[in-house]
Amino acid sequence: MNVAAWPARQVDKWLAMCDLPSYRPLFSHHSITGDQLLRMDEDELLTRFPIKSHKEELRMLNLLTKLQAEYHKWRTTAKPAPISTSTTRRSALRADNNDNNNNNNNSIDAPSNPTAAAAAALPPP
C-alpha cells in the first residue's frame, strides 16, 4: 500500500472509508496528499486541523498512527517484482553460445562450453 503516492482524492477516500467526515473538507481545502499524511504528527493535526469533536480527533490520531505504521511496514517488506529466471537464463545461455560460435571461427564442432551446449539445445522462445 503505497500511501506516499496517494493524491488528495485518495486521502479523501480514506477519510470517508474511516468515517472521519470533519476532516474531509479541511484536508481537501489544503490538498493533503498521502505523503503529507505520512509526515503529519499529532501536534500538526491538532493545531492545523482543529475540529470540534474530541472523539473524532482521537479516532483520527489512532487511524493515522496505524496508517503510518502499516506504510512503514509495507515499505520495509516490499520487494521488487522478480525477473523471470527462465527467460534470463535462456538469454544468458544464448549469449554464451553466440560468443563461443564467434570464438570458434564458425566451426561446426560442438561447443566446448557446456553452458553454450545447453543453450543450443533450447527451443527458440
- SS3 category, 118: helix
pTM for this prediction: 0.60
**Domain residue extents for the chain:** 3-77, 85-121
The per-residue pLDDT for range 14-37, each reduced to its tens digit, is 999 999 999 999 999 999 999 999
Cβ-based burial of 94 (10 A; exposed 0-12, middle 13-18, buried ≥19): middle
Pick the CATH number of 3-77 from 1.10.150.50, 3.90.1150.10, 3.90.1200.10, 1.20.1050.10: 1.10.150.50
> pLDDT tens for residues 94-118?
655 555 555 555 444 444 544 444 4
Contact yes or no for 90/119 (Cβ under 8 A) = yes
